[in-house]
Copies of this chain bind each other. A is one copy, B any other.
Amino acid sequence: MPTLVMKFGGTSVATLDRIKRAAKRVGLEVANGYDVIAIVSAMSGKTNELVGWVNETSPIYDAREYDAVVSSGENVTAGLMAMTLQEMSIPARSWQGWQVPLLTSPIHSAARIQQIPTENILAKFAQGMRVAVVAGFQGISPEGRITTLGRGGSDTTAVAFAAAFLADRCDIYTDVDGVYTTDPRVAENARKLDKISFEEMLELASLGAKVLQTRSVELAMRFKVKLRVLSSFDEPSENAGTLVCHEEEIMESNVVSGIAFSRDEAKITLVSVADRPGIAAAIFGHLSDAGVNVDMIIQNIAEDGRTDMTFSCPTEQVSRAEKALQAGGPENHVNFQQLIADTSVAKISAVGIGMRSQSGVAAKMFKTLSDEGINIKVIATSEIKISVLIDRKYMELAVQALHDAFELEKPHS
């Protein structure tokens, strides 16, 4: 029988009623002829309770014990979900990470999946089991300790299972009904996308769209896993959610697929830096050591052997960045006249695979912003993305204007 992976996040299994609702979704797919692997998160709130206890117990905790404690929430949901399915006369059983076994690296709390042997679960499918309910977010290390995968780990678990079992699709059930052209709270006419390419989804995810975790999208792209994001609260339907897939499967596509934005950006300019080889390496080496996530980087044209260097980073990392750069000392090779931090900027990005083949997107973006009287402070581009930093107070205006300019409210023609 074909296999389907279905993943239910914390809000989709928050109560026994919601677990029942999720189980009914699973039942529909079993009736459709699928053997289902259901990946479940902890009931929402439970993991936070456990993390709270850990933090109260020990400020600098042993990550191995942290993982042993916080992974327990998923085990509870997995057992309850298996029972619920059995109540519906669907042969099901739960699997904890170590039972699969889902083998990971030994990096606790941020482990990476290394292998998912399929024999045990396939043997049960062969014996008539129709649903394997798997506790998400957890695995075991080579030493047999429990590991967790870190943020978004259950999405990653789901995609990895879909890859290992060659599943027809990996459905991620969450509390939003798909991927939108932009945040509907900012642009009222934002439209749900039926399909989006992996590349675009990756850019959107890394730009702050919280629907899917970047790692899970990367993994899906690498292993060609068809990924669908949909709401567990909507009625089941054929076209529910958004399908994340290879661009070849998207017949028609707008040049721009979505407008992403991030409110908490800061711009830092180092004025009059000595322009010599290795200076960029020195600056961004210091920042990296200090754990500053640098995003956009611009270097102005040098004059008289000196230059200005500008970069952006999250607002809450500004003081850390300043400290790292001003630390000084003879072995600190960064030498600049002045550091200017602008913490009232926002980043706006237009994302679309159509940009590769179609020119004029950047020009249209800049003109639209200019028409609204919005000044662009920094520009950065990738193959399928154009990002700009602007004054934060114009953020909503810019998003709406660009959404209108690229006609994102209309389906692809």
Contact = CB atoms under 8 A, between A and B. Distances in A.
Interface stretch (A54-62, A216-224, A267-275, A357-365): A54-62
B50 A65 contact: no
A74 B29 CA distance: 35
Contacts of A145: 99
Interface in A79-105: 79-80, 82-84, 86-87, 93-94, 96, 98-99
A80 B69 contact: yes
What's the number of copies of this chain in the assembled complex? 2
A72 B68 CA distance: 10
A76 interface: yes
How many chain A residues sit at the interface, stated as a range, is 35 or more
A147 interface: no
A50 B83 CA distance: 13
A243 B326 CA distance: 65
Interface string A38-59: 0000000000001001101110
Nearest to A59: B87
A16 B54 CA distance: 9
A73 B46 CA distance: 12
Contact of A76 (B16, B50, B80, B99): B50
A75 B83 contact: no
Interface in A278-336: none
A128 interface: no
B94 A57 contact: no
A79 B66 CA distance: 7
Contacts of A236: none
Contacts of A94: 65, 68
A166 B146 CA distance: 28
Contact of A16 (B56, B66, B146): B56
A263 interface: no
Select the residue from A50, A84, A86 with max chain B CB neighbours within 10 A. Answer: A86
Select the residue from A58, A73, A79 with max chain B CB neighbours within 10 A. Answer: A79
